[in-house]
Amino acid sequence: MTPALKPWPFMASTKAPQPLEHGAIPWLLAVALVTAAPHASHLPLWLTLFVGGALLWRSWLWRQQARLPARWLLMLVVFAGVAGIGWEFRTLFGRDAGVALIVFFMALKPMEMRTRRDSMVVVMLGFFLLLTHYFYLQSIPTGLWLLAATTLLTATLIRLYGGAQPLGAIVHYAGLLLAQALPFMLIIFLLFPRVTGPLWGLPQDAYSGLTGLSDRMSPGSLNKLIQSGAIAFRVQFAGELPPKSNLYWRGPVFDDYDGMTWRALPRGDRAGSPPVVEARGKTYSYVSTLEAHNQRWLLALDLPTRQPEGSVLARSLETLSREPVRSRARYAFTSAPDFIANRQESPALLQQALRLPPRLNPRSRELAASWRATFNSPQQISDAALRLFRQEAFFYTLQPPLLGEHAVDDFLFATRRGFCEHYASAYVVLMRAADIPARVVAGYQGGEINPIDGYLTVRQSDAHAWAEIWLADRGWVRVDPTAAVAPSRIEEGIEAALPADDPLPALVRIDTDWLRDLRNRWEAANNSWNQWVLGYNPQRQRELLSRLGLDEPDWRSMTSALAMLCAIALLFVTVWTFWQRTTTTPAQRAWQRFCTRIKRLGITRADWEGPLAFAARVAREQPQLAALCHEAASIFADLHYGNGTPEQLQQLKNCTRRLPSSWRHTS
């Protein structure tokens, strides 16, 4: 007979899974709630309700000490939930679907928690969920929430393995552990060699929520953007600022028009020799911190004479990066608001700038033809169009009436109400109908200086559209028809140009000094967070290390400094720990003497074991010592964690004297 094979030692289970203590379950439910709750804003409503209902049900089961659901029922719920997430997102992969799955499993795992091993799965899921919050938001409040959640997770681990203790003691211990890790975190953050890009790639749907200018413009598209108070970018000028009327931040250029929507031409249709820009007058150097918008344009001050490395000035005069801007980034520019661009232009591009859809807007074509017959130069025709906007009863509003098939005719001769995209679009159509090459440019106009940090803040509400015409002797010339209708829009900002009942973000309409000051301080703090924490890139790291005396640091010197400083920090933490152990209180010394005496009776207290948990174990292993040990543990808990009295200290010492001698102990 073949002898039976014995299992390898590592295959054999040496210890049965420890059951989960009833009092630890609320901590785990709090972990699930705190780590999953911030995702409610971008999860489907049904999933948010399910997660909330599951956690409430598990809380009720804990309170009633009822049985957990059967495994077959949980399996059915798992299959239904995964199918629902797949149907909702049309995939089980990617950022949104992946996060939804993790949140779903976090809500279900407490339904089968029976052992300490199960609870560790919840804790590890909680740590992983904290990382996913930064996929959506990287603000200061998010960082504070994650710090608080990390403290809760650490406290939960202490509760799981340290037994029942006062809440304050557990939180204090968790905070102490995190404080000991803080020096290492700072050293690694500052000195670990930075990489230019992220350490891992994100799926494409990670950028689906980014907002900003689009590569097309139709009536109402800029309206939605203008009603957002979100920051588009911040600018720090090296010297004085340009006049506000020159703050045109160039984005996409629209050449193609189908009668309703303007579109940017594909990049290949703009091929040709590089643009020729002649700066006239003063130039301005600045650094722009651009928020992620998932497009290639870098929103330079019109018009840049020096672009950042890795970007190019396109034929249509846009500054484009190689890849879409999918994370906050800093770019250095030099721009000349007074310029001459492309005196010699591509015939194909000029021909494109004259195209109009046939048989649309006949009244506008007729008006443009009359100007062409009356005036002798393109400049005079342009002045006539601006005079029309300036002298006729046109109104600037974000709530214009709907336009029909002949959109420009309806706007010019009927409604006469609109905002920048209406005026820019109508002007370009009139110019093209008069045989003047013209196009629409979208971007931002203006900005507001934050007096706290000196940065110019440009918001989505500063989104704007203007026009360009090509003149034979001057190249592309900027024309802003909105300035003819509402000059205050250019000089003072959009809030000064709109009626009081037009929708604008509350942040833009703030007119109270203390509220504006509060907003400025908060945004300056966020800017510092963005610049020095989220934006701590290789360039920022070199700047900081140069200030600290490490000129031209490479990865070898940085790694050496990192190792040396970590060793010093570890030495300080070790010395502090030993010093803390030597500076014990009288109550701790009395409790240590009690534990030393009871160790002679065969019961050893673990370093991590709390007094009450130790007393409970003594009661199980040596019932005859249960009352005395519980009395000593309770007195020590009052002395160490509460408001004990000197009399209690003497009682604790008496408990030690009342312990039997080892030779009298019988098991």
Question: By C-alpha distance, which of 441, 35, 489 is closest to 252?
Answer: 441
Rounded Cα distance between 254 and 432, Å, is: 13
Side chain identity, residue 19: P
Q: At 285, is the secondary structure helix, strand, or coil?
A: strand
DSSP letters spanning 299-321:
-EESSEEE--TTEEE-TTS-EEE
Q: Is 566 a catalytic residue?
A: no
Active-site hit among 39, 133, 406, 464: 464
Q: Is 453 a catalytic residue?
A: no
- Taking the CB of residue 17, how many other CB atoms lie within 10 A of it? 11
Rg (CA), the chain: 35
Torsions phi, psi for 134 (to 5 deg) = -75, -10
Side chain identity, residue 363: R
Find tokens 């749907």 and name the residue: 205
Rounded Cα distance between 370 and 293, Å, is: 43
Rounded Cα distance between 109 and 51, Å, is: 11
Q: Is 464 a catalytic residue?
A: yes
Rounded Cα distance between 67 and 60, Å, is: 11
Q: At 421, is the secondary structure helix, strand, or coil?
A: helix
By the 10 Å C-beta count (0-12 exposed, 13-18 middle, 19+ buried), 349 is classed as: buried
Rounded Cα distance between 41 and 38, Å, is: 7
Active-site hit among 420, 595, 629, 655: 420
Question: By C-alpha distance, which of 291, 317, 290 is closest to 305?
Answer: 317
Rounded Cα distance between 411 and 408, Å, is: 5
Rounded Cα distance between 125 and 121, Å, is: 6
Question: By C-alpha distance, which of 595, 582, 590 is closest to 639?
Answer: 590
Torsions phi, psi for 297 (to 5 deg) = -75, 145
Give the strands of the sheet with 475-479, arranged side by side: 277-279, 339-341, 475-479, 463-471, 438-445, 248-254, 300-301
- The encoded tokens of residue 4 equal 């039976």
Contact 197, 426 (CB under 8 A): no
Give the distance, in angstroms, between the CA of residue 63 and the centroid of all CA atoms in the same chain.
Answer: 37
By the 10 Å C-beta count (0-12 exposed, 13-18 middle, 19+ buried), 51 is classed as: buried
Contact 535, 330 (CB under 8 A): yes
Active-site hit among 409, 410, 480, 502: 480
- Could you list the beta-strand ranges (E) of 429-554: 438-445, 448-449, 456-459, 463-471, 475-479
Torsion of CA 369, 370, 372, 378, to 10 degrees: -110
**Residues annotated as part of the active site:** 420, 464, 480
